[in-house]
Amino acid sequence: MDEAAALIEQAEHLLRRAAALPIEHLTDTALCDLTGRVEQVGRLADALRITTAGEVAERSRPELRSEGLGYRQGCARPAHLIERISRVSQAEAARRIRLAAALRTRMALSGEVLPALRPLVADAVREGRIGVESAGHIVRILDSADTATSAQLEHAERMLVEAAEVDSADLVKTQALVWREYLDPDGARPRDEILRAQRRFSIGREMNGMTPFSGVADPLSAGLLRAAMAEGTAPDRQPRFLSDEDLDPSDPSLDPRTRDQRQFDILIGLLTAGVRAPSGSLRATATVNIVVRADHLDTGRGAAWIDDVTEPISAFTARTLLCDADISTVVLGDNGEVLHLGRRERLFSPAQRRALAVRDGGCVWPGCTAPPSWCHAHHLLEWEHGGPTDLDNGVLLCAAHHHMLHNSGYRMETIRGKPHLLAPPHIDPHQRWRPLGRQRATRTPATAARSG
C-alpha cells in the first residue's frame, strides 16, 4: 500500500469514529466550531477528488487509444470510469475533470512541465482554503474574460481566492462576474447577443392529461419573469390569479397553492392578460430595475445589472432600453449614489424604497436571495431611538431576517453610506464589520486599477 492510500485509510478510520459520536450535547459555540472543521475536512477530500479525477483523465486521453486507462477498463470516456468507481453522476465526474484541467500542472510538447492555468486557485484548493464550488466559479468566469491580460487575470485570481476564503460560493460567483465585466468591458455586448440567441421555449404533447413545456431565458427576459414572479409570490401578497376552484369558501384570503403552482398561475395570468389586452395598452405589473453606472452608460462600454438576475447585460443594451416605459433604467453616480431620486421625504417613500432596492439589491442578509419586493425598509437606528427615515439609515431586510436582527447577537450599522453587519463572537472571532448589499453595479474592483 502506498503512502497516500495508507493516510486515507487512517483518516477514514478516524472519521468513522467521529461520525459515530453524539453531538446533541454540544454548546452552540462548539457546534458552530465543529461545523466549520467538518467543512474543512470536506474541502481537503474534495481536493483529492479533483486530483484523482484529473489523473484518471490524463491516463485516459484520446491519443493513448487502447492503451488508455479508461479504454482498458471498458469505458469510452474518463468521466464514465469515474462514474463507475465513485458512483457519482456523469455530470459531476465531468465537472471534476474540467476543474482539474485548470488546476493541474501541464506538459509542453518539449517535455517541459508548465504551471497550472490557475495556480493560485490550485494552491488554495489543495490546501483546503477554498471549496471546489468557489474554485469552479473563479476558473469558469475568468476564462470568459477574453480581452484581459495575463497580469490582470492573475491579479483578479488572487483577489477572488482571498474572497473565497471568507465568502460563500454564491458571493464569490457574483464577485467573479464583476471582475470579468471590469477586465473585459467590450465582451458584455457580444455576450448579450450570444445569450439572447440561446433563448428558447418549447411545448410538448399531452401526457396523462398534462402538457409539458420548458425553456431558457436570456438575462433581460429572465429579469422580467423574475420581477413578475417576485411581485406575485411575496409572502405578504394576497392571492393572485386564484381560480374559483382553488378558493377556500371559509376564508377567501387563504392560498392553498404551492409556490410552483402560484408561479405557474402568474405566468398564465400574464399571458391571458396580454392576449386579451387591446394593442398597445398592456402595462407591466411589476417594475424591473436595470442598474448601470453613469460613465458606463455614457460610453456604452461595461455592464449593467438586473434585479435578481446573476448574468449582467451590456451597458449598450441598457442605453437602448432608456425609452422603454416598462423598464426602469437606474443610473448611479461615481460613488454609487442613486441619481434623480428624492432623498428628503420624512417617511420611506416609494422613491426611497426604489433607491434602497437599487443600493441593496434585495435583502442584505448574507446568503439571503429575497428580492426587493419581498423586503421591509428597516431603520438601522430605530425610529423610537431618534433614527431618521432617510436612505443612510435604511436597509432592506426580508421579514425573517428583519426579525432575526432584532432577536440575535448580530449588529448592523451604516459605515460610509453602506450597511455593515457584525456577527457574534462565536461566528466571527475577529469581530470584523462586513459590508452588505447585493448590488453588483457598485462593486467595481478599484484595486484592479493598480494591477496594470
The reported pLDDT for the residue numbered 447 is 43
Residue 379 near residue 389, CB atoms below 8 Å: yes
Return the exposure string of 166-186: e unless at least 16 CB atoms fall within 10 Å of the residue's CB, then b: ebebbbbbbbbbbbbbbbbbe
Residue 135 near residue 121, CB atoms below 8 Å: yes
Placement of cell 455530470 in the chain: 91
Band of residue 426 on the pLDDT scale cut at 50, 70, 90: confident
Q: Does 385 score more than 90 pLDDT?
A: no
- Pull the grid cell for residue 199: 433563448
Mean pLDDT of 70-98: 94
CA distance linking residue 166 with residue 168, whole number of Å: 7
* Percent of the chain with pLDDT strictly greater than 70: 81
Q: Does 73 score more than 90 pLDDT?
A: yes
CA distance linking residue 376 with residue 211, whole number of Å: 38
The reported pLDDT for the residue numbered 240 is 55
Band of residue 346 on the pLDDT scale cut at 50, 70, 90: very low
pTM above 0.85, yes or no: no
Mean pLDDT of 21-48: 93
The count of other CB atoms within 10 Å of the CB of residue 356 is 24
Measured torsion, CA atoms of residues 96, 97, 99, 101, in degrees rounded to the nearest 10: 160
The reported pLDDT for the residue numbered 341 is 39
> Which residue did the predictor score with more confidence, 360 or 272?
360
Q: Does 129 score more than 70 pLDDT?
A: yes
The reported pLDDT for the residue numbered 342 is 28
Placement of cell 377556500 in the chain: 248
Helix (H) or strand (E) holding 435: strand 434-435
The reported pLDDT for the residue numbered 449 is 41
CA distance linking residue 336 with residue 350, whole number of Å: 19
> Which residue did the predictor score with more confidence, 263 or 128?
128
Mean pLDDT of 212-229: 84
* Percent of the chain with pLDDT strictly greater than 90: 33
CA distance linking residue 292 with residue 424, whole number of Å: 35
**First CA to last CA across the chain, in angstroms?**
50
The reported pLDDT for the residue numbered 149 is 92
E strand segments, 186-332? 200-203, 213-216, 288-293, 303-306, 313-314, 327-332
Band of residue 14 on the pLDDT scale cut at 50, 70, 90: very high
> Which residue did the predictor score with more confidence, 266 or 384?
266
Least confident of 197-211, 235-249, 286-300, 404-418: 235-249
Mean pLDDT of 366-377: 82
> Which residue did the predictor score with more confidence, 339 or 305?
305
Average pLDDT value over all residues in the chain: 82
CA distance linking residue 334 with residue 183, whole number of Å: 18
